[in-house]
Every structure is written in C-alpha cells, then in structure tokens.
Chains A and B, each alone.
Chain A
C-alpha cells in the first residue's frame, strides 16, 4: 500500500533531517542517537506497535526544539518536525484502513488524506518561512502577552474540537 511506503519514507526523512543537522554542527553522538531512534521507530512500526509512533513523534518534536538552540539549520529542524508529524498521522491512517478487508474506497480516501496533509505542511512551511524572515522587537511583557494569546487561541480551538466529539 502506498501510504505504508510514505510512513517509512517520512520516518527516514525526519530522522535524517535532524541527525544530519546535528552532525553538520559537530554533535555526532546526539546525531547517532536520533538515527537510532529513527531505526527503532521503523522497527516498531513494522511490528505494528502503534503506541510507539506517538512517543517518537513527541520526542522528535522535543529534539527539533533543542536542535534550534544548538544552531542547527531551522529548515532541517522544521523538516524533522513536519515529517515526524506526517509519519505519526499516516501511521494512524494506515491503522484505520487496515480495520477492514474491503478496499473499495481506500484509494479515494488516500488521495483526500494526502491532499489535506500536503495543504497543512505547505501552509506550515510558508508560515515558518515568514517566522524565520520576520524580525519583530518585543519586550518580555509583550512576548508574554502574545504567548498567552496564543495559548488561549489554541485552547479555544482544542475545546471546540473536543466538544464535537
């Protein structure tokens, strides 16, 4: 199945981006650790340990944040984040497709899923490009208010999502 191939490709891309970024800055041991974590994710996925995807996705996001402090290329950190997000998302999608032996509409669903995920990643990349180019001087108070607003916005969004379930 095509989606399954994309899961493996996303894991490899995510681990390579972060490990490469760290290695280029001379952090060889952390780079090897990230590569090994990527291998563990691939093995876990192949063995259908679905809970592992969420854990490794969270770890990769955490390491992507840390890597930006260690002067790694922001785009490599971003690539690690979005590819691990897509691997986590596609792993869940494959799991749902596997719940039925009937594959009548599966190709149509795969196309729609890729389109929406691609849209999310594309828009995210544009926003990230803007975030790396824009230079705004903020006081700590201003930044705190902005972060509070951001957290409030995200919380409102999550509340809305949960209330629909």
Chain B
C-alpha cells in the first residue's frame, strides 16, 4: 500500500468514526493527517529535467586494476529537493572508494559532479545510466527519471608469461619463424647432409664426412664434398580452442576451473603470437565465438578482448566443433584448452586422424574439485577413482598421438608450461641427441 493510500484510509476512518459518534475530538484526530497530505501537495517536486554525463578514467584494465567513474548531473529545471541519484552498478563490479549514489538538493540550472572508484572481475561491465528520484520533504510524491549515460569497462584476463611454447606441426607457413619446418635449408639445427652445391658457404662443408668419402687417388678439387643442411624454422598456423562447457568447468559450491583455462589460453596465445605465428581462437562456451587467425599485437588485442568476454555456457559436447580448413589447413597445429570429459576422446582422435597436430592443455579438474571437498575417506576413494579414469583417458589420448599437458592448477601455469612445453636451447638439444658432432 502506498503512503498516500494509507493516509487516505486512515483519514476516511477517522472522519467516519467522528461523524458516526458525533465526537469533535475524534474528528480533530484527522487534522494532522490532512495537514500532512496538504504539506506534501504544497512543495511537490516539479517534473525532472535532468541530464547526465559519464567519464571513465579508462575503458580497459588489467585484473585488480581500478577505474574512476566521474559523473556530472545538470538540472535544467526548477530547484529540486532530496534528489536521489543512483548509478546502478553492473554485476561483479564493486565500489572501493566513494559512492555510486547521492542524495542532494539540486539548485535550478545548477549541476553536481562526483566520482567513485570501482574494480571488478574479468568481463565486460556495462553501465546503462543513472536513476533519479525526487520527493517532497514528507516523501508522499515521488518523481522518477532515467538519465541515459552509457559506458563500458572491459576487465581483461590475467596474463601468465610463458617464454616459448614448443610445437611441431607438420605444416608451416612460408615466413621464417622459430618452429622447425621439417625441411632442410637455412637454420640453426642440424637437419642432414647433402652433396656440396655451388653457392654453399664453406662454413657448412662437413669436412669429416667429405674426408671419409674422398677418393685418395684424385686431386682435392675432384673430391666429393658434403655440406651440412640445417632445418628451416618458420611460423605456423595455430588454432586454439577454449572449452567453456559448464559441465566440465563448474563444480559444487560455485567453484569454477574456467578462469584457469582462460589464463592458460592467454599465456599460450601470447607466446605463440610473440614468436610470429598466425593464431586464431575458438571459444566454445556461452557463445560460440571465432577470432579469425591473425598475426602480431593487433591479434593479441583481439584475442584478449574476446577472452575478456568468455563465459561458460550450456554446450554439451564437442560434436559441433568444426575447424574450418580454409583457416586451418590440415597438418597445422590445434591446441585445445579444456578440463576434458571422457566423451571428448573420439573427437580429439578424429582431429588427429584428420591430419592436425593436436595438443591438449588440460587444467586438472580432479585435483581442483577434491581440494575443496575435505579429506573424508569416501572423498579420498572417489578422488582416486576419478583420477584413475582421467589417467586412462589421457593415456588414450597420448596413444592417439595427441600431446597432452596435464596441469594441476595448484601450481602456476608458467611452471607447468616451462616443464612441459618449453623448447630447450639448441646446445642442450644437441647434447640430448648425443653430442655436437654433425
């Protein structure tokens, strides 16, 4: 019941009781109530003629960063008393300094400015506008207005720095890069031997091999020479698939492993782009979103913006995952970032059979979920069974020729990536192969 309706009911009640009993004192009780209504009518607020302007100190920030929101409200009408100005905050933004609302008196043709500071979690946070409500002093008449002042803050995902991601797709592009191309030519790593050809650098002649195959009766000029051949290093096409299916990412108690997947995706895409590769991103979550492949810093920015908006969704399985061959020809590299479920193996194996070089980076959901469940014996047993199932699934993937990085999210991604994905320096690789001899 509104305040006016309550007052009206009470006034009618008092008047009827007073007249019914012919008692002046009872009728007199109605006077303060009637005067209260008259006071509301006397200084009721006029129509709100307000405009608002919003300025954001930045439109995109790193996680943990803060943004100052400046607001200016101008009154184009008469003096307004008790105007409540509220800037409804988007979900997942919190005010850390100042206030998003003000209760003020606004002079005629005057303006009011104020600011507050917010921070929030990864995502796009959209401000729609301000709500203004003015009341008379007794709160009987309320006038409301919506002041359209849109704004958007983009909180980017966290960035983990990984220096190098060692991938070996069977097909590379023509531009030089750091990925071994399975072709002899100019490079650093020894690839093989071939007969000396005119134009070969004398530094590349393998004198030991040439001496072993020399004809002792002939002049050195007629001797057969052999040159070392080095493996060309080029850039590659890399497609990254981020799995945002709710059923594999979210667990009891509102816990989600998805942020770890996003972090790994940022780290891998940044590392691959900084090495000059052509990288595309496919987000398979609330929305299915393709970031078409591209190079360099601009592409990194596009990927970061799309990852900022990535959310888990109800997609059930990877069956609808389609890798367009126009963008990613067979034999290029596909990296899937997913906690995985048992039914994903056929699809991943299918990609492998289709000729792609597949790598799976899998944040471990078993250790993630069990860490929040306590250490009761039943939990331990269930964890053990789940771990065995996962191990079997990962083994099946390895057997299918898929490179698997099993990431226990209790450790940093940098640590895991350094151990599993970084390429040792060439001298170490040479030592691992059995020496520096060509």
Contacts and interface: CB of A to CB of B under 8 A. Distances in A.
Q: Classify the interface of chain B: helix, strand, loop or mixed.
A: helix
Interface string B8-52: 111111111111011111111111111111111101100000000
B158 to A, nearest CB: 30
Contacts of A108: 105
Interface stretch (B133-141, B145-153, B198-206): B133-141
Interface residues of B, number: 59
Nearest to B11: A154
B24 A161 contact: no
B410 interface: no
B8 A158 contact: yes
A154 B141 contact: no
A80 B13 CA distance: 16
Contacts of B38: 157
Nearest to B30: A150
B142 interface: yes
A105 B105 contact: yes
Most buried by A among B4, B19, B24, B31: B31
Interface string B44-80: 1000000000000000000000000000000000000
Interface string A148-165: 001100110110111011
B106 to A, nearest CB: 10
Contact of B139 (A77, A96, A104): A96
A45 to B, nearest CB: 16
Given A61-B10, A131-B25, A146-B19, A100 B102 contact: yes
B28 A132 contact: yes
B44 A161 contact: yes
Interface string A70-110: 00001001100110010001001100110111101110110
Nearest to A82: B32
B23 to A, nearest CB: 6
B32 A81 contact: yes
B37 A151 contact: no
A120 B4 contact: no
Nearest to A123: B35
Contacts of B32: 81-82, 85, 120-121, 123-125, 127-128
Contacts of B137: 109, 112-113, 116
Contact of B104 (A69, A105, A146): A105
Contacts of B40: 161
Contacts of A97: 103
Given A102-B103, A120-B35, A147-B19, A65 B26 contact: yes
A68 B26 contact: yes
Contacts of B19: 143-144, 146-147
A123 B11 CA distance: 16
B118 to A, nearest CB: 14
B13 A112 contact: no
Given A58-B10, A161-B44, A96 B25 contact: no
Contacts of A89: 36, 138-139
A128 B28 contact: yes
Nearest to A154: B11
A65 B13 contact: yes
B99 interface: yes
Given A85-B33, A144-B19, A146-B19, A120 B39 contact: yes
23 contacts: A54-B1, A54-B3, A58-B6, A58-B9, A61-B29, A68-B29, A81-B33, A92-B139, A99-B86, A100-B101, A109-B103, A123-B35, A128-B25, A128-B28, A128-B31, A128-B32, A131-B28, A132-B28, A143-B19, A147-B18, A150-B30, A154-B12, A157-B34
Given A61-B14, A85-B36, 13 more contacts: A58-B9, A61-B10, A61-B13, A78-B29, A85-B32, A85-B33, A96-B135, A101-B101, A120-B39, A131-B28, A154-B11, A154-B37, A164-B141
